[in-house]
Amino acid sequence: MTASHLKSFRSGHASICSEGRLLLIENLSKGIDLYDLPRSAPACTFPVPTKKRYTKDCIFAEGTLIIAGGSDHRLVYIFSIDHSEPVQILKQCGMSTLVQALDVSVLQLAMNLH
């Protein structure tokens, strides 16, 4: 992606997958754009409604199977990478709460074999 492509839209947060082949860019007017590198055009856009122009996180989860994005209206949008409609919407407190930061962790279950 060249600098001229990056100047053509307003963006917020960006996140790259651990393999370095997929890139998420928060598009301040539409939602979350997914790029399949090295392509310079989005492969898909995951819509996240917005009223305010605040940057919000967008991250990969479960490898690259899940995408999560914050909002300016207390909701966290969870998408399957295969569908542009949310598979789940999580609510936070207060209607005007900004969800600007997200994080994921891997939970490994230990099995006791006796």
Position 41 in a domain: yes
Band of the pLDDT at 3, cuts 50, 70, 90?
A: very low
Decide if pLDDT at 87 tops 50.
yes
Here the tokens at position 41 are: 């055009």
In-domain check, residue 14: yes
Bridge partner list, 15 = 24
Q: Over the stretch 39-60, which tens digit does the pLDDT of each residue have?
A: 989 999 999 888 777 777 788 9
**Cα(29)–Cα(50) distance, rounded to whole angstroms?**
7
Average pLDDT along the chain:
78
**32 versus 4: which is more confidently predicted?**
32
pLDDT for residue 18: 87
In angstroms, rounded to a whole number, what is the distance separating the alpha carbons of residues 56 and 11?
A: 10
8 Å CB contact between 29 and 12: no
Residue numbers of the domain that contains 57: 3-91
* pLDDT band with cut points at 50, 70 and 90 for residue 91: confident
- The whole-number average pLDDT for the span 84-104 is 75
When divided into structural domains, the chain yields a total of 1
Residue 110 pLDDT: 56
Distance between CA atoms of 52 and 72, rounded to whole angstroms? 6
Answer yes or no: is 55 within a domain.
Answer: yes
Question: pLDDT (tens digit, 9 = 90+) per residue, 95-114?
Answer: 666 665 665 655 555 555 55
Closest by CA to 48, choosing from 12, 76, 6, is 76
Per the domain annotation, does 75 fall within a domain?
A: yes
What is the structure's pLDDT at 7? Answer: 41
